[in-house]
Structure 1
Amino acid sequence: MNAWTLAEENPSGSFALDALSRIIAHIGSPGFASAALSDINRGLPAGSWSVYRTSTASAPVCYLSGSYLRRDATGHCFRAYRDGLYREDSTFEALTGNTLGIVHLTAGDVRNAGHRRMIYERHRLRERLSAARRRDDGSILTVNLYRHDDQAGFRDRELAEFGIMARGLFSAVERQIALQPECGLRNDEQALRRLAPDLAAREMDVCLRLLRGMSHDGIACDLGISATTVKTYRNRAFARLGIHRNNELFAAVLRGDEGALRSR
């Protein structure tokens, strides 16, 4: 029998596998977005990142986003994108089939002037490096790293490192998204109204997105508010519902069991 101890760092000198091992450990954590971005920055500096699904047929959905050691403007960027810019987004047109692809572009490569001005120029984004896959329904799930104007451009070595880690990073993100089931929004809203008729609009917004499996960071990005504010609305909603945890919210909505809520 042989046994040996693994080195703390990857002896090949590539940071990608080390980063992935740390990112995998965060799957399922409410702090996945910030923790994963911090791990990515151990070897591939990125000022911010986002994970969203986009389609020309329906409004995009942001699952998570965040910034590293800077003011977080990802929520403002996504709101501008969702408010109509996504319809003219041609940056993923080179993707074919449903295989994972890499897209690297600079702000100047964004052909739509409004898209370039309202997101890249307004928020001083220099480059985007994405891992993206087209789904069977035509939508595209994309994991995006952004360099800002105060950062150097991506170098060839960094692009190669991203290529090594892209598939594992994409799978980790997909798993994070899939951990909570999606439910029909309209039915969920009706169920929540029956369970707690006094839910405020923002409390409803947050609960509906929790039911879609979105993280606190993703909800903050989608609604254009801070993650701290998301938690405040969640706590208020849970107090009205008489629950304490996300799994209780899922169980109550799936059963429509008002009695179970009030008996807690």
Structure 2
Amino acid sequence: MGQSEIRAIDACLGHTGQDGWAAPFLDLVVATGAVQVMVFAYDADHAACLLSRNFRAQALGGALAESYLDGWYRQDPLYARVLALAPGALSVVTGGAPGPEDYRLRFFERPGLAGKTAVLAAGARLRLVLNLYWEVLPRDEDALLPLLGRLALLHFEARLSEAPPALAVLSERERAVCLGMLAGKKAEEIADDLGVAASSVVTYRRRAYDKLGISSRGALFAICRR
């Protein structure tokens, strides 16, 4: 582990539960060589995407996350495994593309992904799966992987609030704009609520979409719905 990774870990710990956490975390993911990262939270009848980023085609990550949450997560063999974890437990699952043939076609073969490595982590309130996707499967397990799972769990448990878990990665203003949109408000109404210009609402919305890996209001509703 090099100095840049150590600095990124320190930055993640320093921003746990706060704005500014995502950037150093994504730097650590890039250091593993993964081409896509997704973090999902699960309960007995629901899945939520907390973080989605494809480093080759940003819109692709959001599209895959939206499709996965549309019932496909139930075909993911890791779904039952992460729910069965005891609090504090962590497991790294390596290998190729999992699941039935139609699942592998949709989430791996068509997007050009060889497979994934998953880190399953259970906390006091959340059950998370951190997925790192590869164009070429790595030969050896990266020592960063368990640490990435712990960092994600610490951060997202610290950010639990009344807002949908999918919005935990956003800044306070970005989250407020998204919550306004989810409530059916127009940009002008949200601007009045926040005491900012309508153009600032557009900026916060764009930043939120970038972080969430989505590009439309429909996608926002999809990743936040319960």
Write the distance in 1 (CA, Å) between the matches of 2:95 and 2:58: 23
CA spacing shift, 1:180–1:16, aligned 2, 3 Å = closer
Q: 1:100 aligns with which of 82, 90, 94?
A: 90
**Percent of aligned pairs sharing the same letter:** 18
Aligned match of 1:82: 69
C-alpha root-mean-square deviation of aligned residues, in Å? Answer: 3.8
Aligned match of 1:176: 155
Amino acid at match of 1:21: D
Amino acid at match of 1:170: G
What secondary structure is seen at the aligned counterpart in 2 of 1:143? strand
- Offset at 1:126? 1.4
Aligned match of 2:139: 155
- Offset at 1:215? 2.1
TM (norm. structure 2) is: 0.65
Task: Establish whether residue 91 from structure 1 lines up as the match of residue 78 from structure 2.
Answer: yes
Which structure 1 residue ranges, 4+ long, deviate > 4 Å from structure 2? 15-19, 92-96, 134-137, 229-235
1:152-203 Cα deviation digits (max 9, x unpaired): 32121xx14235xx1x3233222322343422xxxxxxxxxxxxxxxxxxxx
Q: 2:42 aligns with which of 37, 42, 54?
A: 54
Write the distance in 1 (CA, Å) between the matches of 2:59 and 2:20: 15
Residue segments in structure 2 that go unaligned for 5+ positions in a row: 197-226
Task: Establish whether residue 24 from structure 1 lines up as the match of residue 6 from structure 2.
Answer: no
- Offset at 1:70? 3.9
- Offset at 1:241? 1.6
Write the distance in 2 (CA, Å) between the matches of 1:77 and 1:83: 10
Higher relative contact order (CA 8 A, sep 6+): 2
Write the distance in 2 (CA, Å) between the matches of 1:35 and 1:72: 21
- Offset at 1:62? 1.0
Aligned match of 2:132: 145
Amino acid at match of 1:169: L
Task: Establish whether residue 40 from structure 1 lines up as the match of residue 22 from structure 2.
Answer: no
TM (norm. structure 1) is: 0.57
Q: 2:169 aligns with which of 215, 232, 253?
A: 215
Q: How does 1:3-22 map to 2 (within 5 A)?
A: 9=2, 17=6, 19-22=8-11
What secondary structure is seen at the aligned counterpart in 2 of 1:125? coil
Residue segments in structure 1 that go unaligned for 5+ positions in a row: 1-7, 184-207, 221-226, 245-264
Q: How many residues align?
A: 187
Contact 1:178/1:213 (8 A) holds in 2: no
Amino acid at match of 2:191: A
Contact 2:53/2:61 (8 A) holds in 1: yes
- Offset at 1:24? 2.4
Contact 1:47/1:70 (8 A) holds in 2: no
CA spacing shift, 1:61–1:242, aligned 2, 3 Å = same
- Offset at 1:61? 0.8
Write the distance in 2 (CA, Å) between the matches of 1:142 and 1:160: 16
- Offset at 1:216? 3.5
Aligned match of 2:190: 238
- Offset at 1:119? 1.4
Contact 1:182/1:213 (8 A) holds in 2: no
